[in-house]
Amino acid sequence: MSLKICVLASGSRGNCTLVASPSARILIDAGLSGKRTAESLAGLGMEMGEIDAVVIGHEHSDHVRGLKVLAGRHRLPVYLNRETAEAAAGHLPASAELKIFTNGRSWEIGDLSILPFSVFHDARDPVGFVIGWRGQEVTVATDLGIPTRLVRQRLKNARVAVLEANHDPDLLLNGSRPWHLKQRISSSRGHLSNQAAAELLAAETGESLTDVFLAHISLDCNRPERARQTVREALRRAGKDRVRVRLTYQDRISELVEIGDGPPPIPAGEPPAAGPFQLELDPFLTK
């Protein structure tokens, strides 16, 4: 028996993460078109009909763009807090089955427990999630401007972390984006830099951590290998060089991580390079 985690896509063009246990399969966020979500699942040998629910972190379009298809045509129940439900109303079909959760209170889908926790981001009531399964935890926090005390607590027992490393400060500062956008990204309600993500992982994760996905990597204000190297170096200095650091992508799925229900083994080095599976970008997402 095992728990599977794969980031179907992460970034400004769309966010969606699969967490699948023997009795439950959920999507965290629905920022891809319905077609691309189905194609991504097919690449993992799954079908949309096998998904039990969609869990939403906040209302920005790169997290909810696919809800009309997923909640409408495919009739997947949607879990989100009340503020996010109100803010995302335009993306929800009238027939949507909404499950309103309260931040800080966990619930269950099959054998998964799901705990939403508040984060700082420029949305109505944004949250990250801790997904629990048989004593293992997966912590997902892809949009946060600063690592609050609560975020730090939710990372302590993570076996797998999906954490954003959005930008390199120098590339952001010297890039072509408007100044107001640079300020927004680097603010307390914006996005984590490579350095901030690295320091957070090095300081706050415990011995249980075996795998990290670097999420929401900017296309023009970051470089994937720079993000990974920054995090690797921080983990190495903290004596955590056993942790595998994996990249996520805006145009294809990440590697699949599978964990068992026993104590975490000692990881043996870094993962191989990403496989050949690649998806053509949906035309809607490139506009």
Cα-Cα-Cα-Cα dihedral sign, residues 35, 40, 44, 49: negative
Task: Encode the chain (287 residues) as per-residue pLDDT tens digits.
Answer: 899 999 999 999 999 999 999 999 999 999 999 999 999 999 999 999 999 999 999 999 999 999 999 999 999 999 999 999 999 999 999 999 999 999 999 999 999 999 999 999 999 999 999 999 999 999 999 999 999 999 999 999 999 999 999 999 999 999 989 999 999 999 988 999 999 999 999 999 999 999 999 999 999 999 999 999 999 999 999 999 999 999 999 999 999 999 997 767 655 555 444 443 333 333 322 22
The per-residue pLDDT for 265 is: 62
SS3 content of the chain, % helix, strand, coil (to 5): 30, 25, 45
Give the helix ranges, DSSP H, for the chain: 34-42, 61-64, 67, 82-87, 149-155, 169-174, 179-186, 194-204, 224-237
Domains and CATH numbers, the chain: 2-258 (3.60.15.10)
**Pair 77, 97: CB distance under 8 Å:** yes
Dihedral, CA atoms, 199, 142, 16, 182, nearest 10 degrees? -110
Name 22's Cβ contacts closer than 8 Å, sequence gap at least 6. Answer: 1, 2, 111
The per-residue pLDDT for 272 is: 44
How many residues would you count in the chain?
287
The per-residue pLDDT for 267 is: 52
> What is the DSSP code (8-state) at residue 76?
-
pTM: 0.90
Which residue type sits at 16? C
Cα three-residue angle 200-206-208, rounded to 5 degrees: 130
The per-residue pLDDT for 266 is: 58
CA-to-CA distance for 268 and 241, rounded, in angstroms? 10
Nearest Cα neighbor of 35 from 279, 255, 250, 249 is: 279
The per-residue pLDDT for 261 is: 79
CA-to-CA distance for 175 and 22, rounded, in angstroms? 45
Q: Residue for token digits 């499950």?
A: 99
How many alpha carbons fall within 13 Å on the CB side of residue 25?
15
CA-to-CA distance for 215 and 141, rounded, in angstroms? 9
CA-to-CA distance for 263 and 123, rounded, in angstroms? 37
> What is the DSSP code (8-state) at residue 280?
P
The per-residue pLDDT for 1 is: 87
CA-to-CA distance for 244 and 212, rounded, in angstroms? 6
CA-to-CA distance for 7 and 249, rounded, in angstroms? 8
The per-residue pLDDT for 180 is: 94
